[in-house]
Amino acid sequence: MSALLFTCAVLAALAGCACLALSQERHWKAVTGTAPHARRPLRIAGWALLTASLACCILCERASFAALLWPLLVMLAALATAAVLTWRPGLLHPLARLVAPKAS
Amino acid sequence: MDRSSAPLTPAPLSLRQSMTVLHTWAGVAVSAILFAMFWMGTLSVFDREIDRWMIPQTRLEASDAPVSFDGHALPAFRAAAPDASMWYWQPPRERQPFGTLGWNDPVQGWQTRHLDPATGTLLPPPESLAGTGFIFPFHFSFHATWMDIGYWIAGFAAMAMLVLIVSGLIIHRKLFAEFFVFRPQKHARRSTLDLHNMTSLVALPFHVILPLSGLYIFFGIYLPWSAAVPFGGDAEAMDAAVYGSFNRPALSSPAPAQASIDAMIADAEARWSARHGIAARADVVMVQHPGDAAGFVTVRRVFPSRQVTMDADVITYDLASGAVLKDWSAGPVRRAHGWLSGLHFIQFDHWPLRWLYFLAGLSGCAMIATGLLFWLRAREGRHTPGSARFRTMEALTIGGVTGIIAATGAFLVANRLLPEGAALWGESRAGLEVWAFWLVWLATFLHAAVRRAAAWAEQCAAIALLAMAAVLLNAATTGDHVLAAATRGQWAVAGMDLMLLAAAGVAGWAMLRLRPARVAEAPLPDPALAPAE
């Protein structure tokens, strides 16, 4: 297993779940305190990053392992995103500013 | 999901309403059993590591020295089991730094011993069923052997799990909008339901494929006709076609010679490597009718270390001549079955995936526990909490959730407290550990029935104390405290201790969260605490 590809798969899953969460009004408001912004691009970016994570899994493992690894990595990323949104929503602020520089 | 708005009139139920009824009652009926399966299955992810912790004599240094069947295992078998009708051998591998010998003794039944590859000598008998002997079989059989009843209960629960997943998806009102939502600051009922929804959804593929593959593994038990019809009821013909097995009776005359079994293993590995284009290794060798003229040797690749698909290659050799009697590799459909089985057994070597399985299993445990808790919390405000039905569910829930965890803690503590060779009323040391488990589990149900809601916090306290006691007893009786084990490279033992400390921490936190004052808290949200939405 290539460590670099595996790290990319984890990071892409995390970023993908964070984007999908920010594309929702409730979480965007909690993170930035402003009106929703760029919902559609965020949703597309989220799914694209999750797909990129799957591609990294397939490249660093055999398909039979990637089929197990990817859904569980997405689970890990979704749990981490939910935990951040619950206790430290500010951690996602840089990502929100990346999408909407004026949102801060 | 707001149950209070459900109409009480016998008008036809909408799909969502009927699914709510199904989800509630199927959940109430099987949740305690499902929690036991999820809990034991989650622990089975680290079955070998639990074995290292509970059987300290097997905490051997990992060694790269090749282990020979003819040189190491054969003399041990000839000395210990000359009369056995079958010898079973597993060479050392990453999570098992020893060879494993098994044989069916004509008097004492199945025997298992471990072989130290460094010295070539047998270790003393294990004296504990540990992870692979108790926790793993509990996961699918509850150790209820009468008429295979345990397998049938597990199969029924797995089917119910799939029903619960489908009905749960239908009744969830905000599948995507609340996917990442957890509101611990809201009232207890809301945050319990948030946690139930989140732990179900994030691991949804896992929660579907694991019950499904579990049912698939035991298809021969649950669907005996599937084998009986195509093979005319001939179980042996089915095993030969589906599992590549071979059989012939003993001749009761001594073998004229014995071929080298190491040569058979090398031949099998060379054939598989050429066939699949990978470096294949044999991990199970079985000698049938040793010493007999009709003896034969089965060489298998049950759990390949870098492959999900399991048990797809078997070659059988004649014991006397070394000639190939049968060379079987699985076809495409059987390989799909092997992949589904392999993903359920996870005996392949993949540490990130192993930890993710553990996390997904824990999320399943949390899903069931919060589902049960929600049922109780939704009713304690509305119905008479003193009703027999409510009290029964309360005791079943507490004993089924915190009780089985406490009983597992007692199993580990008993393992470190009982002296070597202990025996009581005809029970061996291994049997006494199992008794400790069952008695403590039974006691937690009685405790929950008597102490009611207060039992949550009290059993969490018991779990925390048992987990810490297990860590201290491991250090006291074996000297392998976390630092010592880690410096010796005994990561299985250090990891077990760290997990026990984490469990003690989580149980302590849960004790504070589940105090009766919180459980009985008003069902309405406190406007001062609720964030503006």
pLDDT at position B424 is 83
Q: What is the DSSP code (8-state) at residue B109?
A: E
Q: Yes or no: say if B99 and B89 are a contact pair by the CB < 8 Å rule.
A: yes
Residue of A6, A21, A75 with shortest CB distance to B202:
A75
Query: Which DSSP helix (H) or strand (E) runs through B146?
Result: none
Residue A68 is assigned to a structural domain of this protein: yes
Instruction: Give residue A1's pLDDT band: very low, low, confident or very high (50, 70, 90).
Output: low
pLDDT at position B14 is 85
Q: If we measure between CA atoms, which residue out of B135, B97, B112 comes closest to residue B415?
A: B135
Residue of B nearest to A22 (CA): B180
- What is chain B's pLDDT, residue by residue, as a tens digit (533 residues)? 444 455 555 677 788 888 888 998 888 889 999 999 999 999 999 999 999 999 999 999 887 778 899 999 999 999 989 889 999 999 999 899 999 999 998 888 888 999 998 888 899 988 899 999 999 999 999 998 888 899 999 999 999 999 999 999 999 878 877 888 888 888 888 888 999 999 999 999 999 999 999 999 998 888 888 777 888 878 888 888 888 999 999 998 888 888 999 999 999 999 999 999 989 999 999 999 998 999 999 999 999 988 999 999 999 999 999 999 999 999 999 999 999 999 999 999 999 999 999 999 999 999 999 999 888 888 876 656 678 888 888 899 999 999 999 999 999 999 999 888 877 888 888 999 999 999 999 999 999 999 888 889 999 999 999 999 999 999 999 989 989 888 888 999 999 999 999 999 999 998 887 765 544 444 444 333 333 33
Share of chain A above pLDDT 90, in %: 60
Residue A104 is assigned to a structural domain of this protein: no
> How far apart are the CA of A102 and the nearest CA of chain B, in angstroms?
22
The whole-angstrom separation of Cα B488 and Cα B471 is 17
Residue A51 is assigned to a structural domain of this protein: yes
How many residues does the structure list for chain A?
A: 104
Please, which residues have CB within 8 angstroms of residue B208's CB and are 6 or more apart in sequence? B162, B165
Q: Which two tokens stand for residue B27?
A: 């959940």
Mutation site, A68, A70, A85, interface B, largest B CB count within 10 A: A68
pLDDT at position B8 is 54
Q: Which of residues A76 and A32 earns the better pLDDT score?
A: A76
Poorest-confidence range of A37-41, A46-50, B21-25, B296-300?
A: A37-41
Could you give the 3-state DSSP secondary structure of residue B55?
coil
**Contact status of B180 with chain A (Cβ, < 8 Å):** yes
Q: Yes or no: say if B518 and B87 are a contact pair by the CB < 8 Å rule.
A: no
Count: domains in chain A: 1
Alpha helices in B381-479 (DSSP H): 388-398, 404-417, 429-451, 454-478
**Residue linked to tokens 């299955």:** B41
Residue A48 is assigned to a structural domain of this protein: yes
- Domain containing A15: what range? 3-99
Interface contact flag, B307 A69, Cβ < 8 Å: no
pLDDT at position B531 is 39
Give B-chain residues touching A71 at CB under 8 angstroms: 205-206
Decide: residue B211, CB within 10 A, 0-12 exposed, 13-18 middle, 19+ buried.
Answer: buried
Instruction: Give residue A102's pLDDT band: very low, low, confident or very high (50, 70, 90).
Output: low
pLDDT at position B517 is 52
Residue A84 is assigned to a structural domain of this protein: yes
Give B-chain residues touching A74 at CB under 8 angstroms: 202
Give A-chain residues touching B180 at CB under 8 angstroms: 17, 20-21, 24, 27, 78, 81-82, 85
Q: If we measure between CA atoms, which residue out of B404, B432, B439 comes closest to residue B417?
A: B432
For this complex, say whether ipTM is above 0.85. yes
Q: If we measure between CA atoms, which residue out of B92, B90, B133 comes closest to residue B298?
A: B90
Quick one: average pLDDT of A47-52? 96
Decide: residue B276, CB within 10 A, 0-12 exposed, 13-18 middle, 19+ buried.
Answer: middle
pLDDT at position B177 is 78
Per DSSP, what are the bridge partners of residue B435? none
Per DSSP, what are the bridge partners of residue B286? B88, B298
> How far apart are the CA of A99 and the nearest CA of chain B, in angstroms?
20
- Which pairs with CB-CB distance under 8 Å and at least 24 residues apart come from B16-23? B16/B170, B16/B171, B19/B167, B19/B170, B19/B171, B20/B167, B20/B171, B22/B163, B22/B167, B23/B164, B23/B167, B23/B168, B23/B171
